[in-house]
Amino acid sequence: MPSWEEFDAYMHHEARSKWLEPLLQALPSFPEVRDLIAKLGREEAWKHVQRAIRWRLGKFYLSAIRELDLFTRLREMGFPLNYHLLADVLLRVDFWTGKTLVCVFFENTKYRGRKPPAERFFQAFDIVHMKIARQGFGRFWIAADVAVKELAEQVAKSRQ
């Protein structure tokens, strides 16, 4: 797994032409960016845009780390998990095992509910929804040990 520094360097150097340059070309067409430039000036507005981009890249990276950590811990407990990016992004299924689909989330009232629930796409499966408790303020937000254990128990019950 790449460190944050490695990921950040890759996104801003090797991968830059694939995402950042097209984004920068499109930004002036967004009214919010034009308003920001008018209010703050180009240089100061650009600083805000750079911070916003870095924040979103950081959120993406941390989300990937959280999922990887959770999957690894569950697999170490003996669960043969399956994952696919499209199931995660489009169908709201974080992983599955057998005929049990699992949808996990960290509590965030501003984010939950933006995508349709997995039940909209799947009828003949058991679907487990589980809120994952974080480890607490000031710590990297991975699933608390008790939450991983509860999830494992709930998935095991559903598989029986």
Q: pLDDT tens for residues 61-82?
A: 888 888 889 999 999 998 889 9
**107 has a pLDDT exceeding 70:** no
The reply to whether 37 and 62 lie within a common domain is yes
The reply to whether 159 and 90 lie within a common domain is yes
The reply to whether 86 and 54 lie within a common domain is no
Domain stop point among 25, 44, 68: 68
Q: What's residue 22's pLDDT?
A: 83
C-alpha dist (Å) from residue 149 to 25, 98, 105, 117, 152: 47, 19, 15, 24, 5
The reply to whether 126 and 150 lie within a common domain is yes
Find the Cα–Cα–Cα–Cα dihedral 93, 69, 112, 114, rounded to 10°.
-50
The reply to whether 110 and 137 lie within a common domain is yes
The reply to whether 157 and 92 lie within a common domain is yes
pTM greater than 0.75: no
- Is 118 in contact with 103 (CB distance < 8 Å)? yes
For the chain, what is the domain count? Answer: 2
33-46 CB burial, b ≥16 within 10 A, e <16? beebbeeeeeeebb
The reply to whether 1 and 64 lie within a common domain is yes
Structural domain boundaries enclosing 95: 77-160
Query: Which ranges of 77-109 does DSSP label H, i.e. alpha helix?
Result: 85-91
Over the chain, what is the mean pLDDT? 83
Laid out side by side, the sheet with 95-97 consists of: 95-97, 100-106, 126-132
Average pLDDT over residues 9-35: 85
- Residues in CB range of 96: below 8 A, 6 or more apart: 81, 82, 87, 102, 125
